[in-house]
Amino acid sequence: EVQLLESGGGLVQPGGSLRLSCATSGFSFSSYSMTWVRQAPGKGLEWVSALSGTGSGTYYADSVKGRFTISRDNSKNMLYLEMNSLRAEDTAVYYCAKNMRSSSSSCDYWGQGTLVTVSS
């Protein structure tokens, strides 16, 4: 059974940093691209970032480019999102998701999300 479990969310001040983690199991992690998607309270879904299976290909939304870094540890089946220079508009539930194939493919499995709140 495929499982994705996010952690690392919480309350952080504007300008601060946070690292999200996504623990995965039930599939051959290194064979699949992975994605982060966020959802601000009461709003729709926003694609944030994607990463190829080898970690060599990274993709970012313009709203987070230069501030967020996606990475993975294939030896630990873990996905990460390093978030710096956080802003109030980054407040959201962050979901990690498994891609069906490539980094641009649809996401067939999702975690339950972790809430990030950026506020003073």
Binding site for another protein (CB under 8 A): 37, 44-47, 50, 59-62, 95, 100, 104-108, 110-113
Collect all residues with Cβ–Cβ distance below 8 Å to 114 and sequence separation of at least 6. Answer: 6, 7, 8, 9, 20, 93, 94
Residue 55 or 113: which CB sits closer to another protein?
Answer: 113
Residue 65 or 87: which CB sits closer to another protein?
Answer: 65
> For residue 105, which of 34, 57, 25, 39 has the smallest C-alpha distance?
34
Give me the least distance between CB of 62 and another protein, in Å please: 6
Give me the least distance between CB of 75 and another protein, in Å please: 26
Residue 44 or 75: which CB sits closer to another protein?
Answer: 44
Say if residues 82 and 21 touch (Cβ distance below 8 Å).
no
Give me the least distance between CB of 13 and another protein, in Å please: 27
Give me the least distance between CB of 78 and another protein, in Å please: 19
> For residue 58, which of 94, 26, 82 has the smallest C-alpha distance?
82
Residue 74 or 110: which CB sits closer to another protein?
Answer: 110
> For residue 102, which of 65, 57, 36 has the smallest C-alpha distance?
57
